[in-house]
């Protein structure tokens, strides 16, 4: 089942990463322990990276109608800010948004 998640990571003095995204529970579980690389998103030479943990996300909604509307309106699974699925290292590729979109279509029918 798809859920709306908020993402938050405190990067100390450099700042923080925040985002809203839609994902399936199983995909989020599969992301745990994967290395994420954000690059210099918090300023020149910031080089932000880390390991994804379940504590980094909070379920904000399980309302499938609302989630479907968000995906349609924002034309994808990233609603705002940073989506950790977009920052997985190349060697740790996981299910991409195209496959998640196929799941949504299957669930809708």
Q: What distance in Å separates the CA atoms of residue 73 and residue 70, rounded to the nearest whole number?
A: 5
Q: Where are the beta strands (DSSP E) in 35-96?
A: 35-39, 48-51, 57-61, 78-81
For residue 27, pLDDT over 60 is answered with yes
Q: How is the chain split into domains, by residue range?
A: 2-108
pLDDT digits (tens, 9 = 90+) for 33-52: 999 999 999 998 889 999 99
CA atoms in the 13 A half-sphere facing the CB of 12: 6
Report yes or no: 79 and 4 within 8 Å, Cβ to Cβ.
yes
Considering the entire predicted model, what is its pTM? 0.79
């Amino acid at each position: 089942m798809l859920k709306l998640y908020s993402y938050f990571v405190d990067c100390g003095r450099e700042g923080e990463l925040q985002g809203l995204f839609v994902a399936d529970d199983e995909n989020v579980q599969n992301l745990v322990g994967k290395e994420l690389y954000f690059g210099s998103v918090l300023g020149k030479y910031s080089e932000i990276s880390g390991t994804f943990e379940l504590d980094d996300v909070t379920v904000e909604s399980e309302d499938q109608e609302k989630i479907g509307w968000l995906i349609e309106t924002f034309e994808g699974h990233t609603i705002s800010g940073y989506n950790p699925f977009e920052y997985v290292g190349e060697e740790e590729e996981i299910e991409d948004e195209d496959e998640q979109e196929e799941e949504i279509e299957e669930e809708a029918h």
